[in-house]
Amino acid sequence: MKSASLKQIKDELKVLPDVELKELILQLARRKKENKEILTYLLFYRNSEDLYIYAVKSLLDEELTSINISTYYWMKKTIRKVNRLMNKHIRFSGKPETETELRLHFCRMLTELEPSITGNKVLHNLFIRELDKVSRSLKKLHEDLQYDYKREVRDLKDVLNDV
């Protein structure tokens, strides 16, 4: 079976009554966890981006504090998992401010880890890539915000070089 185009889906949704539309949305939410997460963002956080950023930061903090630091292998696995989680939440929002804020928070958390991520090339490169992504997302922001965030990126690079 071939999927319908987005236009066909939009046209069909226009003719559905509200009750049926709600039922379809609930069926989508029951299917996959990610559908439920997207609906949660759209229903509860879409209009309060600061609250969403705070909630995601709390989630990232919780995941990174429970990291297994016995070996770099386990650190890499957990950090990559947290990175995927962060990227998913960035996609939900789609706003450059949210992306910048979450990526900077992730990088700050990585610099605080013991043992240091500089002891592992993979983690060090992941950190550098995240800072590059922050730099790219900064170009989409207002100039005043760019200045503040660029200073923070510079500080993070300095912290990494000092270690």
Instruction: Looking at the chain, list the stretches that DSSP marks H as alpha helix, in order from N- to C-terminal side.
Output: 6-15, 18-31, 33-40, 49-65, 72-93, 96-111, 121-138, 143-162
The pLDDT of residue 55 is: 94
Alpha-carbon span 146 to 100, nearest angstrom? 10
The per-residue pLDDT for range 99-134, each reduced to its tens digit, is: 999 999 999 999 988 888 888 899 999 999 999 999
Instruction: Return the structure tokens found at 78.
Output: 């957990």
Based on the number of CB atoms within 10 Å of its own CB, is 79 exposed (0-12), middle (13-18) or buried (19 or more)? buried
Contact at 8 Å (CB) between 107 and 156? yes
What sign for the dihedral angle of Cα 102, 83, 43, 2? positive
**For residues 9-13, average pLDDT:** 89
Contact at 8 Å (CB) between 92 and 140? no
pLDDT at 146 over 90: no
Which residues are CB-neighbours of 60 under 8 A, at least 6 positions away? Answer: 82, 85, 86, 102, 105, 106, 109
Alpha-carbon span 59 to 151, nearest angstrom? 25
User: pTM score, two decimals?
Assistant: 0.87
**For residues 75-91, average pLDDT:** 94
Q: What percent of the chain has pLDDT over 70?
A: 99
Contact at 8 Å (CB) between 88 and 39? no
